[in-house]
Structure 1
Amino acid sequence: MIVHNLSEENSILNQFIAELRDVSVQKDSMRFRRNIERIGEILSYEMSKTLEFSSKKITTPLAEMEVKTHDNNIVLCSVLRAGVPLHNGLLNYFDAAENAFISAYRHHKENPETFEIVVEYLACPDLNNKTLILADPMLATGQSLVATYKALQPFGTAKNLHIFAVIGAKEGVEYLEKHLPKDAHLWIATVDDKLNDKGYIVPGLGDAGDLAFGEKLQN
């Protein structure tokens, strides 16, 4: 897997990451969602440089001219619910893309420190010969993204696979490297050093879904 860690270079991206992490700023859920959306836009722009382009002729009010546009058929697939703001950022740039959504969450058994990934909802178009982008803001253990990738396989074989994430842990990145195709690309805003005993990223930012949309209802 080819890893693109955008925090390794100085850019406005780092400001958005800092605001996502800062407890005094992340209390504003609208700003939290917007920052994830803006990071999605930046990741999309950087990833777009790897797409296939060809020339086509257009007509302006004054003349005809040739421009280069990308030829990829893109499918955006986000992991609900935290993935929604990130998905919106991708759609701002890939506005002609098809869309897929999946719910993949941790189900804790008797031991709160162990869990399995449960997929309950999935809507997806045909993936054959398309460019698939899987989006999930938090790359912790990597198990949710791998489960998502496997759940999508009945819908066809994508030509290219790209993973988009905001914050990840080294352990999660390594897990993806072991379980996803070698030619897959990971586009990530920043990578933290570790996970805690419950599998959450440290220093991380907390629960992205709760910060974006409020605390989950308890059964």
Structure 2
Amino acid sequence: MIRILDRENTLLNRFVAQMRDVNVQGDSMRFRRNLERAGEIMAYEISKSLRYARHTVETPLGAAEVSLPDEPIVIATILRAGLPFHQGFLNYFDDAQNAFVSAYRRYSKDGSFNIHVEYISTCELSGKTLLLVDPMLATGASIVLTHRALVEKAGMPQRTIIASVIASEEGLEYTKKHFSAQNTTIWCGTVDAELTVKSYIVPGIGDAGDLAYGDKM
């Protein structure tokens, strides 16, 4: 299943607009904060789809019945662009476990590239809900390979939730195809139609990692 949030009225649109705006995105601190706020809003929306259980909480004056999320959650992201987005999810799912993967594009002289996974830090995933969050879902290859690497190291989660701020149509189709046999939901803030020859989303936002943390060599 795919959920696209900007097909409804949502405050997320404001933060996505600021991340896109060349007159705003040059402020890296504001860009990181907008990514974090996007993560918070998406965490709230995703929380509505989780399994809940009834609990009793003792107050100074009695007992209150509440429904609380009842799934063990692991939030995973791809370094480095995913860190502020990840923090937004962690602000809301503050008792979640966490995983981090270093995945990057290794370019050839002809301009083509392969996704290379270099570092994985994760807890056991078997039987848990994996929240795999990455700001940009361009080709979809990074998400697919990251998920595969996590599963090979830590086991198959009970279900996977993928969250991105901006996705391309091509990336959504690729991701949906590779997760078709699994219990997976894809959430994104908005969807753009095009990819450049270097697989950047158009109109997109540019390089999220560079905008958040500065240019890299």
TM over 0.5: yes
Is 1:190 aligned to 2:190, yes or no?
yes
Structure 1 CA distance, aligned partners of 2:37 and 2:195? 25
- Which amino acid counterpart does residue 6 of structure 2 have in structure 1? S
In structure 1, which of residues 137, 140, 153 is the aligned counterpart of residue 138 of structure 2? 140
Cα distance, 1:160 vs structure 2: 1.0
2:115 to 114, 117, 127: 117
Q: Encode CA deviations 1:84-119: one digit per residue, 9 max, x unaligned.
A: 00000000110000000001111101111x100000
Moved more, 5-14 or 17-26: 5-14
- 1:30-81 per-position Cα deviation (integer Å, ceiling 9, x unaligned): 1101111111111111111111111111111111121110110000000000
Consecutive unaligned residues in structure 2, runs of 5 or more: none
Shift of 1:128: 0.8
1:31 match: secondary structure: helix
Alignment of 1:95-174 (within 5 A): 95-112=94-111, 114-154=112-152, 155-174=154-173
Matched, 1:53 2:52: yes
Give distance in 1, aligned partners of 2:201 and 2:65: 47
Aligned-pair identity (%)? 51
Counterpart of 1:75? 74
Looking at structure 2, the residues matched to 150 and 87 of structure 1 have their Cα atoms a distance apart, in angstroms, of: 19
Structure 1 ranges of 4+ moved more than 4 A: none
Provide the aligned length of Structure 1 versus Structure 2. Answer: 215
Aligned-partner Cα distance in 2 for 1:10–1:51: 22
RMSD after superposition: 0.8
- Does the alignment pair 1:212 with 2:209? no
Structure 1 unaligned regions, length at least 5: none
CA apart distance, 1:181: 3.8
- TM-score normalised by length of structure 1: 0.96
In structure 1, C-alpha distance between the alignment counterparts of 2:17 and 2:50, rounded to whole Å: 29
